[in-house]
Amino acid sequence: MKNSAEKVSVKVCLGTTCFVMGGGNLQELNEIIPKKYGNKVELSGVNCLGLCSINWEYSKAPYVKVDDDVVNEATVEKVLELVDKKLGIN
């Protein structure tokens, strides 16, 4: 768990594979995250994280990184759940 001064970083992969595999839906996070967490969470879009090429068949895209943890087959719900956990919110 984080102490209150630390931020959680959320990096949404905007690479082509992730985007076509459903990453586009994750744009919702742009609205939800600031509303829900204020400045406790730093959200950014990043280029291909390099994960899609390691993974055969791209089957686990889209990817999002929350701090150093990779969320595969990412959905808004999965990402928020992990952020909650990191911030100690149940």
Which H or E run contains 10? strand 8-13
**Position of minimal CB gap to ligand FES:** 15
Q: Does 41 contact ligand FES by CB under 6 A?
A: no
Angle at 38 between CA 25 and CA 48, to 5 degrees: 40
Q: Does 70 bind ligand FES (CB under 6 A)?
A: no
- Residue whose pair of structure tokens reads 């995250």 in the numeric block: 33
Type and span of the H or E element at 52? helix 51-54
Interacting residues with ligand FES between 12 and 31 (CB under 6 A): 13, 15-18
What is the spatial distance between Cα 13 and Cα 44, in angstroms, rounded to a whole number? Answer: 9
Instruction: Kindly indicate which of the ranges 10-18, 25-33, 67-75, 78-86 contains the residues binding ligand FES, using the contact rule CB under 6 A.
Output: 10-18
Q: How many angstroms separate the most distant Cα atoms in the chain? A: 40
Q: Which of 49, 66, 71, 82 is in the footprint of ligand FES by CB under 6 A?
A: 49
Asked if 66 interacts with ligand FES (CB under 6 A), we say no
Binding residues for ligand FES, rule: CB under 6 A, are 13, 15-18, 48-52, 61, 63
